[in-house]
Structure 1
Amino acid sequence: MPAFDLPVTELERHRPDIEEPADFDAFWTSTLKEAGQTNALVSVRPVETGLRLTRTWDVTFRGFAGDPVRAWFSRPAEAGELLPAVVEFAGYGRGRGLPHERLTWVNAGYAHLLMDNRGQGGQYGCGGDTPDPHALAPGGPGPAVRGLLSAADYHYRRLITDAVRAVAAVRGLPGVDPARTVAVGNSQGGGLALAVAGLVPDLAAVLVTAPLLCGIRRALDLTDAGPYGEIAAYLSVHRGAEHAAYRTLSYVEGVSFARRAQAPAHFGVGLRDTVCPPSGTYAAFNRYAELTGTDPRKEIHAYPFNGHEGGDAVQVRRQLDWLEALLDGRRR
């Protein structure tokens, strides 16, 4: 697929206006206040994985509406000191899978929490273990359209709340330095990490690649691929529902979360990405932290000939180097 979005010179200064609802902050303050009324952690159970150099626990924490959300928590087996924690969010249609699937951050010396996606896990990978008991509002079968006609009922209200609660949960786990908690994700996971950065003011860093839910209105005009295609397909049948859908989506717009974030940020983007168009990533990057009165360290890496895979392992290596330098600097 050739490059289809804005030219690079325009992407680098792309700062679109966002139709942000007047009660955006009140909506999320109320949602998170309700979710935070109880202790996040429910259970922490060690599991045998066959890995000698990694210790893993099956974690359950309370997410949206107190619903139990599953996660894998892993640490290097011989680490005795408090470790920085990487909270990772999985992509669209994925669950937490099996505990030995994602070991990069543990091998780099971090504590690692991989959150399960409620009501997902049936499209890719090795499945998930967290149902979504609230998925009964009007909308389509896919997560991107569940409850689409009401912000209160929308799937991503629940999933973003779970993501924020995952940060609270990891900070209560053994051997974690709560002051060095990092949010990481690609695609949907990148959108969740960016939302966490906008809702958790003391996050140590955020690392996102090809984030979903950024520049949503433009993405719906550009692509029929992936989750945006599900939304377009739903609206093609439910004619006249656009206004309600757009209003709901404005409460989960990643650029709005990026404007409120203040943690150091590392971005990656493939310029031929038809799943999460690059203009959305650049919009979030260019408007990052603009409402916070801060000027956090941030950088973006673009891959001109890559699509949704972005920089793949090259980008991961850049993330590892960047985060190590950032956190080592904090220790000094």
Structure 2
Amino acid sequence: MKTYHDRLKELETYTGMGEKPADFTDYWKDALEELDRINPDVSLQKAEFQGTHTECFHLYFTGVNGSRIHAQYLRPKNISHPIPALLQFHGYRWNAGDWCEKMAYTDMGFAIASMDCRGQGGLSEDLGSVRGTTVTGHVIRGITDTKEKLLYRQIFLDTALLARILMRFEEIDAEKLGVFGTSQGGGLAIACAALTPEIKKAAPCSPFLSDYQGACCHQECQGAYLELWDYFRILDPCHEQEQDFFRQLQYIDIRNLAPWVKADVLWGIGLEDKACPPSTQFAAYNALTSDKKMIIYPEYGHEPFPGFQDKMMQFMTELL
């Protein structure tokens, strides 16, 4: 039986499976140029929920393919000078959650925007049609169409556009942005930081969206990566299109985006995670070149980690 230290030694050198496409940089350069041409048509609508010391708004903007994207936006009342802002991203298929959950951040002096991912459980639209299957999940949406139709390309761009919008708000200090999230939210935090070099702090926890081919090799893998298995079971049972399938996914793999991250990174991981196996997370973490720290919970899986939220809050308050 391997010890904790044996496992860790292997993980610290793991870089994932498959190769970054030769046109990966051009792919995302073109995507960001597409973002430059979008008029986001930002709308702020006062929310039905308000805090004693916090203003709450529905923030809407237009993203790729004309979809209207929704985020909760909260800021302290009576702002006298530009303040730091945080972007929060939610777990797979879920939504931005309850307003009151963000008030610890506004009480500390942050503004915070929590985005609903398009096509999932919140108020955002998904107007992008694709050819081919959409069976069982969002990772494979667009997989049999052109690589520009991959749904997570659009979601990654939504995160970057939201960051740009916040940086234009007069109450926000554009030089003091942080991003965070858990599971899918953790993966989106890395993607957002990679596509938005102005971001100074990133705190992913148990991130999804990394090393898809490696994830498929885990017999014990559970959760969202199972949709990759479902794809093969239903549509390619003999893996005749396996090479093309995983080549497409390389474009939306955060381990390939990780080297672009300029932010300081605080990363939470459980070594018993079956939903987002530790190897998939280390594949992205090991690709980071910015200042980084990983907090490891050896006996924990895909679940909340004791003390991590406090550590993350302390990490972000360095922006204040």
TM-score (norm 2): 0.91
The one-letter code of the counterpart of 1:232 is W
Pair 1:159-2:189 in alignment: no
Deviation at 1:281, TM superposition (A): 1.7
Counterpart selection for 2:234 from 232, 237, 242: 237
Classify the secondary structure of the residue corresponding to 2:256. helix
Q: Which residue of 1 aligns with 2:138?
A: 143
Question: 1:212 Cα deviation (Å)?
Answer: 0.7
SS of 1:20 mapped into structure 2 = coil
State how far apart, in whole Å, the 1-side matches of 2:3 and 2:211 are: 17
Match of residue 318 from structure 1: 311
One-letter code aligned to 2:268: G
Give the Cα–Cα distance (whole angstroms) in 1 for the partners of residues 3 and 313 of structure 2: 28
Taking the aligned partners of 2:18 and 2:316, their CA distance within structure 1 comes to 30
Tell me which residue corresponds to 1:176: 172
Given candidates 299, 302, 308, the residue that maps to 1:308 is: 302
Residues 41 and 172 of structure 1 are in contact (CA less than 8 Å); yes or no, is this contact kept in structure 2? Answer: no
Secondary structure of 2:92's partner?
A: coil
Partners of 2:117 and 2:253 in 1: CA distance? 19
The verdict on how the C-alpha distance between 1:115 and 1:284 changes in structure 2, with shifts beyond 3 A counting, is same
Q: Does residue 228 in structure 1 map to residue 228 in structure 2?
A: no
Number of the residue aligned with 1:100: 100
Compute the TM-score of the two structures, normalised by the length of structure 1. Answer: 0.88
> Residue 71 of structure 2 aligns to which amino acid in structure 1?
A
Distance 2:278 2:95 in 1: 25
Three-state SS of the structure 1 residue aligned to 2:149 is: coil
Q: Which runs of 4+ in 1 moved over 6 A?
A: none
CA distance in 1, matches of 2:152, 2:14: 25
CA displacement at 1:89 relative to structure 2: 0.9
Helix, strand or coil: the match of 1:56? strand
Deviation at 1:96, TM superposition (A): 2.4
CA shift for structure 1 position 98: 4.1
Contact 1:54-1:76 at 8 Å conserved across structures:
yes
Residue aligning to 1:292 = none
Secondary structure of the structure 2 residue equivalent to 1:299? strand
Distance 1:144 1:108 in 2: 35
Unaligned runs of 5+ in 2: none
Report whether the alignment pairs 1:133 with 2:127.
Answer: yes
- What is the identity, as a one-letter code, of the residue corresponding to 2:157? T
**Whole-angstrom distance in 1 between the partners of 2:317 and 2:36:** 31
**Contact 2:139-2:151 within 8 A present in 1 as well:** yes
Cα deviations by residue, 1:147-193 (Å, 9 ceiling, x for unpaired): 12242221111111111111011112341111111121111111111
Q: What residue is the counterpart of 2:43 in the other structure? A: 43
Pairs within 5 Å for 1:1-332: 7-16=7-16, 18-121=18-121, 128-139=122-133, 140-150=135-145, 151-222=147-218, 223-239=220-236, 240-289=240-289, 296-311=290-305, 313-325=306-318, 327=319
Partner amino acid, structure 2, of 1:219: A
Q: CA RMSD of the aligned region, Å?
A: 2.2
Over residues 126-151 of structure 1, what are the superposed CA-to-partner deviations in whole Å (9 max), with x where a residue is unaligned?
xx111211144322142222212242
What letter is aligned with 1:201?
A: P
Q: Whole-Å Cα distance in 1 between the matches of residues 3 and 160 of structure 2? A: 34
Provide the C-alpha distance between the structure 2 equivalents of 1:86 and 1:41, rounded to a whole number of angstroms.
21
Distance between the aligned counterparts of 1:14 and 1:65, measured in 2? 36
Q: SS at 1:152's partner residue?
A: helix
**Correspondence for 1:124:** none
Query: Which letter does structure 1 place at the counterpart of 2:230?
Result: A
Identity of aligned residues (%): 29
Q: For residues 61-92 of structure 1, what are the alpha-carbon distances to aligned partners after superposition, in whole Å with 9 as ceiling and x for unaligned? A: 12223421111110122443211110111110
Letter matched to residue 211 of structure 1: P
Secondary structure in 2 matching 1:103: helix
Residues 95-152 of structure 1: CA distance to partner in whole angstroms, max 9, x if unpaired? Answer: 224433433322332110001110001xxxxxx1112111443221422222122422
**How far does the alpha carbon of each residue in 1:8-58 deviate from its partner, in whole angstroms, 9 at most, with x for none?**
222233334651001111111111211221343421122231421211111
SS across alignment from 1:105: helix
